[in-house]
């Protein structure tokens, strides 16, 4: 018993000695360049978010923040690299709905990392809105209620397109069908561009598509928008209703967030999170993100960690209920 008490006392003493050092490390952080792993190629919305944050942190702290694009395997290459990086705050990364929720739920044994447990969330950066669009020559519905009634009158007779099996566009539409008790045929494409071509041509009649690609077609009168996924009205079309207003429990928002390897000191994680949140609240950040079709967020590390865990469980259930299998 005495040995146990001695060991416990020594552990408490060691922890007490470490706490001032950790606080000092956080106060002086960063003292050297930071690497920011982006698991997608340069040029897209996720890359733009990462570079915007990197530019701000570099300017604020006077240390280089280098964006390192590591695309591949649906973001799994970059996230796998991040998960095994040093836990010191000098390697950060951008997570997303595909790599941290959908793909691991679709293929649970195919990833070298756990999508939640292997990362320390820092802050949710932004959301790329999805819009439910239909071909107006094939679908007479002018609102969500009419579209749902049209689907119920034509079960399994209509097809929707997506950018591929297991993509956020596919999962979003499957959740919509589950929540409304309707059925459609799924036609997966190798990317959004060929899907959009067939949607405009009428080979498929509907899609839950990224606003950045679908909205120009809506403005041109070639597609009709019925609603927006997510929990906030679209900044580019505030008159467009939220799908969740008509479909209870529907809330899909492709997201991108800043994270670190699990085990990174909490004080450092919180310091980065606080700075990122403050930046995202600025008009400059809002304007630059909206120019890329992104809705800014900015939340605490604890909020983002909880959100990630929730997203993984939500899409795991959607995939199981729909019987979706990898291609």
The pLDDT, as a whole number, for residue 21 is 47
CA dihedral 90→52→213→234, nearest 10 degrees, is 110
- Strands across the sheet containing 295-296: 65-69, 34-38, 91-96, 255-261, 119-127, 295-296
Q: Which of 28, 23, 22, 48 shows the shortest CA–CA distance to 36?
A: 48
Specify the residue for token string 């239909």: 134
Q: Which of 45, 69, 87 shows the shortest CA–CA distance to 192?
A: 45
Maximal C-alpha separation, the chain: 82
Strands (E), 82-210: 91-96, 119-127, 130-134, 159-162, 185-188, 206-210
Among 17-21, 228-232, 323-327, top mean pLDDT goes to 228-232
pLDDT tens per residue, range 173-203: 999 999 999 999 999 998 889 999 999 999 9
**Average pLDDT, stretch 72-83?**
93
What is d(CA 38, CA 280) in angstroms, rounded to the nearest whole number?
Answer: 19
pLDDT tens per residue, range 237-272: 999 999 999 999 899 999 999 999 999 999 999 999
51 cis-preceded (ω within 30 degrees of 0) = no
Give the confidence band of 73 by pLDDT, cuts at 50, 70, 90: confident
Q: Which residues contact 278 (CB under 8 A, 6 or more apart)?
A: none
Q: Which residues contact 220 (CB under 8 A, 6 or more apart)?
A: none
Secondary structure percentages of the chain, helix, strand, coil, to 5: 45, 20, 35
Q: Which of 58, 210, 238 shows the shortest CA–CA distance to 126?
A: 210
What is d(CA 279, CA 275) in angstroms, rounded to the nearest whole number?
Answer: 6
Within 10 Å of residue 153's Cβ, how many Cβ atoms?
Answer: 9
Q: Is the pLDDT of residue 106 over 90?
A: yes
pLDDT tens per residue, range 15-51: 555 544 445 578 999 999 999 999 999 988 899 999 9
Q: Is the pLDDT of residue 6 over 60?
A: no
Q: What percent of the chain has pLDDT over 70?
A: 93
The pLDDT, as a whole number, for residue 26 is 84
pTM, rounded to two decimals: 0.87
Within 10 Å of residue 76's Cβ, how many Cβ atoms?
Answer: 21
Q: Is the pLDDT of residue 3 over 80?
A: no
Q: Which of 200, 185, 188, 198 shows the shortest CA–CA distance to 151?
A: 185
148 cis-preceded (ω within 30 degrees of 0) = no
Q: DSSP assignment, residue 64?
A: -
What is d(CA 283, CA 286) in angstroms, rounded to the nearest whole number?
Answer: 5
What is d(CA 116, CA 262) in angstroms, rounded to the nearest whole number?
Answer: 9
SS3 173: helix
Tokens of 82: 């991040």
**Of 5-19, 36-50, 114-128, 290-304, which range is least confident?**
5-19
**Of 12-21, 51-60, 183-192, 287-296, which range is least confident?**
12-21
Q: Is the pLDDT of residue 141 over 60?
A: yes
Q: Delineate the domains of the chain, giving CATH numbers in brackets.
A: 33-125+254-322 (3.40.190.150), 130-245 (3.40.190.10)
Average pLDDT, the chain: 92
Q: Is the pLDDT of residue 232 over 90?
A: no
What phi and psi, each to the nearest 5 degrees, are found at residue 115? -65, -15
Geometric angle at alpha carbon 287, from 282 and 293, rounded to 5°: 130
Within 10 Å of residue 74's Cβ, how many Cβ atoms?
Answer: 22
């Amino acid at each position: 018993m005495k040995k146990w008490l001695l060991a416990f006392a020594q552990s408490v003493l060691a922890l007490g000695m470490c706490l001032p050092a950790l606080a000092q490390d956080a106060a002086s952080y960063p003292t050297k360049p930071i690497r920011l792993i982006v698991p997608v190629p340069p040029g897209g919305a996720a890359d733009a978010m990462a570079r915007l944050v990197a530019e701000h942190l570099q300017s604020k702290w006077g240390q280089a923040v280098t964006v390192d694009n590591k695309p591949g395997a649906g973001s799994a290459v970059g996230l796998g690299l991040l998960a095994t990086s040093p836990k010191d705050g000098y390697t950060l990364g951008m997570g997303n709905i595909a790599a941290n929720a959908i793909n691991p739920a679709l293929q649970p044994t195919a990833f070298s990392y756990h999508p939640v447990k292997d990362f320390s969330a820092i802050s949710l950066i932004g959301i790329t809105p999805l819009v439910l669009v239909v071909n107006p020559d094939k679908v007479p519905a002018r609102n969500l209620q009419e579209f749902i009634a049209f689907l119920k009158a034509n079960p399994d007779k209509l097809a929707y397109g997506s950018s591929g099996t297991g993509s956020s566009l596919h999962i979003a539409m499957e959740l919509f069908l589950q929540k409304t008790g309707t059925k459609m045929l799924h036609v997966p494409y190798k990317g959004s561009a060929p899907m959009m071509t067939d949607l405009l041509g009428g080979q498929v009649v509907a899609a839950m598509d990224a606003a950045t690609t679908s909205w120009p077609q809506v403005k041109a009168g070639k597609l009709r928008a019925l609603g927006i996924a997510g929990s906030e009205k679209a900044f580019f079309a505030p008159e467009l209703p939220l799908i969740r207003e008509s479909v209870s429990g529907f809330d899909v928002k492709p997201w991108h967030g800043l994270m670190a390897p699990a085990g990174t000191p909490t004080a450092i994680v919180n310091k980065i999170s606080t700075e990122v949140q403050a930046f995202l609240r600025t008009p400059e950040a809002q304007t630059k993100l909206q120019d890329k079709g992104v809705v800014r967020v900015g939340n605490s590390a604890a909020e983002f960690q909880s959100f990630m865990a929730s997203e993984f469980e939500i899409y795991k259930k959607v995939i199981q209920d729909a019987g979706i299998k990898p291609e």
